[in-house]
Structure 1
Amino acid sequence: MDRAVDPVILEDKVSESETKWLWVFGYGSLCWKPGFEFHKAVLGSVNGFARRFWQGNATHRGTFDKPGRVATLVEDSEEEVYGVAFAISGEAAIPYLNHRECEQGGYISRFTEFSSLEGETIKVLVYVACPRNVHWLGDSDIEEIANQIVNRQGPSGHNVEYLIRLAEFMRLHFPDKHDGHLYSLEQKVLSLVEARQMCLRTLMGSGEGCVTFFRKPSSRETSPNRARRNAEDRVETFEHTARVPGKKLRCLNI
């Protein structure tokens, strides 16, 4: 049986003393399954990019014969992508990420600017897939991408899990931000799952290795708001998209 762990607190700001840490920006599965130790997790965004499910994956959410679809960032001066910046802890984090994202996933690393929800700006390391990598699938219409996701699974679980957990995380922690590509794809995938009478609970897996995130109330919020948010801001219910009972998530021991 997995060992229960304390939830991770998400914050909205970075203090001046913390800007010297090495930060990594998560916009895909790192948002709900980072798999490495970190000092702090801060909500925010990067400008000049759009999140798209244009990268293939053959090692986690698909196979080499039937690659899954996972998120990458594509440059777009009009767009903004929301996610989590992690302050890296431990010497094993970067080798782990380079193996997971670059060697296995086909991503490259680069630095860009991240803005916390309270306006602080820090430099973050971000992993981006380029069209020249061997796993690149590129743009397709939403229906084709959704069909690929519904029909793909790999060693880490079903491709549907990757999409739904990411959409739920974004909806919970950024309720006033609309990611048209992500949410349109989620809606189409859920429609296909229902039409094909697939079991969403089975597709979502056990949740092993996921992190339970709680949103830390902003300093600008009143006490009643804080109490309400402590009760509401939990990840992993899936109730309004799938009506699947929630479950407590557990950290991945690396």
Structure 2
Amino acid sequence: MTMWVFGYGSLLWNPGFPVARQELATLHGYARSFCMSSIHHRGTEDKPGLVLALDEVDEAHCRGLALAVEAGHEDRTLADLRERELISSAYLERMLDVELHSGETVNAVTYVIDPHHVQYCGGIPLEEQAQIIAHAVGGRGPNTEYLYNTTEHLAEIGLHDPDLEWLSQRVRALVA
């Protein structure tokens, strides 16, 4: 049986595992947003950055990629994803149904935000998000790189996220 992973942020451009197949997909009931304070990868405890997470919102949906893990790599992939995504327990690992562009529905490993976790910061106005992202740097590099890579990869695969596109333009202006 194929193991699927739903990518909506850095997994789009840096899955970190062998991908046998990828397809555009939609997850219902969640919205992609910069609602997680990053104290490890894209910021520090003293100067947190922001990373994307899936925030549970009725009537919302998030378009991203369903990534099929290459056969034989499932256990290693899950271990690596848990090490990467569950570093601070702000994400919750869920098996959620995603609709593939082809019409098929698959059950995918998906990382969603825990709204009760101290790193949850939903509802920050876009201008404030831009100010944070423009200046934060963490263990995996500048917060700007995360924003730019995600926005550019979404555009490459034909998915447009108006908030991320606005943030990319605003942050570029702030750091210029």
TM-score by length of 1: 0.64
Match of 1:172 among 152, 156, 159: 156
Match of 2:170 among 165, 176, 188: 188
Q: Which structure 2 segments of 5+ residues have no match?
A: none
What SS does the aligned partner of 1:103 have?
coil
1:134 maps to 118
Larger Rg computed on CA atoms: 1
Match of 1:78 among 50, 59, 72: 59
2:42 maps to 61
Q: Would the aligned equivalents of 1:48 and 1:76 in 2 still touch at CA under 8 Å?
A: yes
Q: Percent identity?
A: 37
Q: For residues 177-234 of structure 1, give each alpha carbon's deviation from its aligned partner in whole angstroms, at most 9, with x where no partner exists.
A: 442322222222122122xxxxxxxxxxxxxxxxxxxxxxxxxxxxxxxxxxxxxxxx
Count how many residue pairs are aligned between Structure 1 and Structure 2: 173
Q: Name the aligned partner's letter for residue 116 of structure 1.
A: L
Q: Would the aligned equivalents of 2:53 and 2:113 in 1 still touch at CA under 8 Å?
A: yes
Match of 1:160 among 126, 141, 144: 144
Q: Which runs of 4+ in 1 moved over 4 A?
A: none
> What is the correspondence of 1:106-121 to structure 2 with a 5 Å cutoff?
106-121=90-105
Deviation, 1:41, is 2.0
- 1:36 matched to 2:20: no
Distance 1:135 1:63 in 2: 12
Distance 1:178 1:97 in 2: 26
Structure with bigger RCO (C-alpha 8 Å, 6+ apart): 2
What SS does the aligned partner of 1:54 have?
strand
Aligned Cα root-mean-square deviation (Å): 1.6
What SS does the aligned partner of 1:126 have?
strand
Q: Name the aligned partner's letter for residue 192 of structure 1.
A: L
Report the CA distance shift for 1:181/1:105 in structure 2 as closer, same or farther (over 3 A).
farther
Structure number having the greater strand percentage: 2
TM-score by length of 2: 0.90
